[in-house]
């Protein structure tokens, strides 16, 4: 989604901003722009498409000496992905970049138009820079004018503004969208996520909602909660893989080891989560979006089966406005790769406001959700660059499984033998994610038979139902083919009406969980001429195609093995269709608007 970079200092400003934006590229965007303020001049460049276009556009521009710079990658919300709508937006003598949505922009715009302001773009953002200049006219003080401007805004924002009236300051404001300020001890950097700052700065401040002000080279220390920025820049190479997504699929067995490391011992589970915190809970609500929601839905099956605790998994955007009933003895878990997804973050804030016990299962240390939740557990998947989540999902399911057994132990709803068995299965499940090259080859060949037709059903039962949802989501995200996930038993209640030979059914058929049930459901579709591709460790006679996985002793091993098959199937179909697997159309890695 949209990305922001800002800089105050003497280095080559264009280079710093573009390199910063490049670190955010994987998050998805459709236009980009940069403004540099040096020698009393504001220089702006904007383009549609990829950063390479922006680089070309400003290749002859350079600035030396002290100056200010802001840059932006835009994921269109208000107005199409055109050059005019790209950020930075300008008024007469100021430029602005903004992430988020200004909900009351239409009223503000009308008012400003009456006062003679002329707008060029269709964006909500342009209003803010005009309002700033209008306020400055009356207040005669840039800081007061900026604060007055921010006061008038409704919605979510991370904003950087530079103005010719102040040659050493960048104005900033944050509400709902992340914004970080960092320093290397001399220069000042801004970014909408920590990734571009790693290696550049020593200390950072993650701004809180409601913070508004200006930054120059001397007032970094006045910020609250300054912390050192840990982490080292990790390689952003594809290491011989065709796409980051492919690399991330292949990394899963490794990152899963990191997820379990020091958390599962031979016969017990250790989590950095006080037992008291979980002792008195009587129900669990899980809130998340997209793939993270699918991981949450899988956890529902584990929590209820092993910990015997009533669990609901709800899509965050639905939860927020449903006047949810929230009980104090409820554990509220949010799941998120980025820790910044607006709907999930707002749901978490709501739960906190209502006094629930909150826990974030998240991949990004210091993200908004990790900071907002009472406790957090990190999934340790490492940076995930493919927009379509793979390794983050695998680590979420694994960590939630561990958490389920941990809660079961605290609630004394599980026997010692079962804990041991679960731990053994976890270790085996990780082995099941080691990719057998024969299976990858098989899927590569198979993929050419699944490029047409009028859609896909992915079916599964029990915990394989959320896996079916995830398989369908992976396929539609990167192949743009229509795919739906369904519980196997639900097909005859309507969806089976679509069955014919051009309808492809991917059936998840684990030997160790409800095998006969899913077999009957698959037969019902086969007898209506649907084309069946079965994924199983058993040979399925009625299937048109089969992906035979290895022999496993537990359904969770089968779960992780099938997860790999679904991810590779989506990958190979998308590659055959010639799509940009890592940055699929219309999608963003981190969805920071609701």
Shortest distance, position 530 Cβ to ligand AGP, whole Å: 26
**Catalytic choice (13, 247, 474, 589):** 589
Cβ distance to ligand AGP smaller for residue 392 or 549: 392
Q: What is the C-alpha to C-alpha distance for residues 433 and 260, in angstroms, rounded to an integer? A: 14
Distances (CA, A) of 316 to 286, 333, 347, 351, 498: 9, 11, 6, 12, 30
Q: Are 33 and 51 in contact (CB under 8 A)?
A: no
Q: Are 531 and 453 in contact (CB under 8 A)?
A: yes
Cβ distance to ligand AGP smaller for residue 198 or 473: 473
Strand order across the beta sheet in which 375-378 lies: 310-315, 283-288, 330-336, 357-362, 375-378
Cβ distance to ligand AGP smaller for residue 194 or 338: 338
The burial class, CB within 10 Å (0-12 / 13-18 / 19+), for 146 is buried
Give the dihedral of Cα atoms 369, 371, 375, 380; nearest 10 deg: 70
Binding-residue pattern over the window 440 to 479 for ligand AGP, x denoting contact by CB under 6 A: -------------------------------------x--
Shortest distance, position 557 Cβ to ligand AGP, whole Å: 23
Q: What is the C-alpha to C-alpha distance for residues 172 and 147, in angstroms, rounded to an integer? A: 9
Which region, judged by CB under 6 A, interacts with ligand AGP, from 123-131, 283-291, 480-488, 567-575?
Answer: 283-291
Of 47, 90, 422, 590, the residue at the interface with ligand AGP (CB under 6 A) is 590
What is the torsional sign of CA 499, 500, 506, 507? positive
Cβ distance to ligand AGP smaller for residue 170 or 467: 467
> Which residues touch 442 (CB under 8 Å, ≥6 apart)?
547
Cα angle 488, 493, 499; round to 5: 70
Shortest distance, position 375 Cβ to ligand AGP, whole Å: 18
> Quick check: is 2 catalytic?
yes
Task: Please give the residues from 331 up to 360 whose contact with ligand AGP meets the rule CB under 6 A.
Answer: 336-338, 341, 344
Shortest distance, position 485 Cβ to ligand AGP, whole Å: 13
Q: Any bridge partners for residue 509, and if so which? A: 536
DSSP state of 221: G
CB burial string 16-28: b at 16+ within 10 A, e below: bbbebbbbbbbbb
CB burial string 295-312: b at 16+ within 10 A, e below: bbbbbbbbbebbbebebe
Task: Please give the residues from 477 up to 496 whose contact with ligand AGP meets the rule CB under 6 A.
Answer: 477
Distances (CA, A) of 325 to 312, 332, 351: 12, 12, 10
In terms of DSSP H, where are the helices of 383-456? Answer: 391-410, 416-431, 437-447
Task: Please give the residues from 143 up to 202 whose contact with ligand AGP meets the rule CB under 6 A.
Answer: none
What backbone torsions phi and psi does residue 357 show, to the nearest 5 degrees? -80, 120
Instruction: Point out the residue whose Cβ comes nearest to ligand AGP.
Output: 290
Shortest distance, position 566 Cβ to ligand AGP, whole Å: 12
377 three-state secondary structure: strand
Cβ distance to ligand AGP smaller for residue 361 or 530: 361
Q: What is the 3-state secondary structure (H, E, C) of 154-191?
A: CEEEEEEEEECCEEEEEEEEEEECCCEEEECCCCEEEE
In terms of DSSP H, where are the helices of 45-194? Answer: 51-57, 105-114, 125-139, 142-151
**Total residues binding ligand AGP (CB under 6 A):** 16
Give the dihedral of Cα atoms 386, 571, 363, 385; nearest 10 deg: -10
203 three-state secondary structure: strand
Cβ distance to ligand AGP smaller for residue 259 or 341: 341
Q: Would you tell me the crossing angle of helices 105-114 and 125-139 to the nearest 10 degrees?
A: 50
Binding-residue pattern over the window 288 to 317 for ligand AGP, x denoting contact by CB under 6 A: -xxxx-------------------------
**Catalytic choice (2, 58, 205, 362):** 2
Shortest distance, position 383 Cβ to ligand AGP, whole Å: 12
Which region, judged by CB under 6 A, interacts with ligand AGP, from 149-157, 348-356, 509-517, 584-592?
Answer: 584-592
Tokens of 206: 């993650």
Shortest distance, position 289 Cβ to ligand AGP, whole Å: 4
Of 591, 592, 593, 594, the residue at the interface with ligand AGP (CB under 6 A) is 591
Residue 30 contacts ligand AGP per CB under 6 A: no
Shortest distance, position 468 Cβ to ligand AGP, whole Å: 15
DSSP state of 107: H
Shortest distance, position 22 Cβ to ligand AGP, whole Å: 20
Shortest distance, position 482 Cβ to ligand AGP, whole Å: 17
Shortest distance, position 286 Cβ to ligand AGP, whole Å: 12
Cβ distance to ligand AGP smaller for residue 84 or 587: 587
Task: Please give the residues from 351 up to 410 whose contact with ligand AGP meets the rule CB under 6 A.
Answer: 387-389
Beta strands in 481-580 (DSSP E): 483-487, 503-509, 531-536, 545-548
Cβ distance to ligand AGP smaller for residue 95 or 379: 379
Which region, judged by CB under 6 A, interacts with ligand AGP, from 235-243, 256-264, 286-294, 455-463?
Answer: 286-294
Cα 341 to the chain's mean position, in Å?
6
Cβ distance to ligand AGP smaller for residue 196 or 471: 471
Cβ distance to ligand AGP smaller for residue 26 or 555: 26
Cβ distance to ligand AGP smaller for residue 359 or 546: 359
Q: What is the C-alpha to C-alpha distance for residues 295 and 395, in angstroms, rounded to an integer? A: 9
Question: What are the catalytic residues?
Answer: 2, 589
Q: State the residues that interact with ligand AGP by CB under 6 A.
A: 289-292, 336-338, 341, 344, 387-389, 477, 587, 590-591
């Amino acid at each position: 989604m949209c990305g922001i970079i800002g800089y105050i200092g003497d280095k080559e400003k264009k280079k710093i901003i573009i390199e910063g934006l490049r670190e955010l590229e994987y998050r998805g965007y459709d236009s980009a722009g940069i403004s540099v303020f040096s020698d009393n001049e504001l220089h702006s460049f904007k383009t549609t498409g990829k950063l390479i276009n922006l680089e070309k556009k400003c290749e002859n521009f350079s600035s030396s000496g002290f100056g200010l710079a802001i840059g932006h990658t835009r994921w269109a919300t208000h107005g199409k992905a055109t050059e005019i709508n790209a950020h930075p937006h300008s008024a007469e003598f100021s430029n602005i970049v903004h992430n988020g949505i200004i909900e009351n922009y239409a009223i503000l715009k009308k008012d400003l138009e009456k006062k003679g302001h002329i707008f060029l773009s269709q964006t909500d953002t342009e209003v803010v820079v005009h309002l700033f200049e209008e306020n400055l006219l009356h207040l005669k003080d840039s800081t007061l004018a900026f604060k007055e401007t921010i006061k008038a805004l409704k919605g979510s924002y991370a904003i950087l503004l530079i103005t010719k009236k102040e040659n050493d300051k960048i104005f900033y404001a944050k509400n709902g969208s992340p914004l970080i300020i960092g320093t290397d001890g001399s220069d000042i950097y801004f970014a909408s996520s920590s990734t571009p700052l790693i290696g550049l700065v020593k200390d950072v401040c993650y701004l809180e909602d409601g913070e508004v002000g200006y930054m120059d080279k001397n007032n970094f220390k006045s910020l609250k909660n300054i912390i050192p920025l840990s982490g080292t820049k990790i390689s952003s190479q594809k290491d011989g893989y065709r796409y980051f997504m492919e690399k991330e699929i292949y990394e899963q067995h490794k990152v899963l080891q990191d997820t379990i490391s020091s958390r599962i011992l031979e016969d017990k589970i250790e989590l950095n989560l006080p037992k008291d915190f979980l002792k008195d809970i009587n129900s669990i609500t899980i809130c998340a979006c997209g793939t993270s929601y699918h991981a949450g839905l899988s956890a529902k099956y584990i929590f209820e089966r092993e910990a015997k605790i009533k669990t609901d998994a709800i899509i965050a955007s639905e939860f927020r406005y449903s006047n949810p009933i929230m009980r104090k003895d409820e554990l509220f878990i949010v799941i998120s790769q980025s820790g910044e997804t607006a709907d999930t973050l707002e749901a978490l804030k709501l739960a906190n406001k209502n006094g629930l016990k909150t826990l974030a299962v998240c991949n990004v240390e210091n993200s908004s959700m990790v900071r907002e939740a009472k406790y957090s557990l990190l999934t340790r998947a490492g940076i995930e660059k493919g927009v379509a989540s793979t390794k983050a999902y695998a680590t979420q399911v694994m960590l939630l499984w561990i958490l389920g057994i941990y809660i079961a132990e605290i609630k004394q709803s599980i026997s010692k033998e079962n804990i041991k068995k679960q731990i053994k299965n976890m270790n085996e499940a990780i082995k099941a994610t080691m990719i057998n090259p024969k299976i990858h080859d098989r899927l590569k060949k198979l993929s050419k038979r699944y490029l047409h037709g009028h859609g896909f059903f992915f079916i599964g039962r029990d915990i394989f139902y959320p896996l079916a949802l995830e398989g369908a989501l992976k396929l539609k995200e990167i192949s743009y083919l229509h795919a739906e996930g369904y519980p196997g038993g639900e097909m005859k209640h309507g969806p089976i009406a679509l069955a014919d030979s051009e309808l492809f059914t991917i059936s998840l058929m684990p030997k160790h969980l409800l095998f006969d049930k899913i077999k009957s459901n698959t037969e019902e579709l086969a007898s209506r001429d649907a084309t069946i591709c079965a994924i199983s460790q058993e040979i399925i006679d009625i299937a048109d195609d089969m992906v035979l996985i290895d022999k496993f002793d537990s359904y969770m091993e089968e779960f992780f093995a099938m997860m790999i098959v679904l991810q590779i199937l989506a990958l190979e179909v998308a590659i055959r269709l010639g799509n940009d697997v890592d940055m699929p159309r219309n999608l963003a890695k981190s969805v920071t608007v609701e």
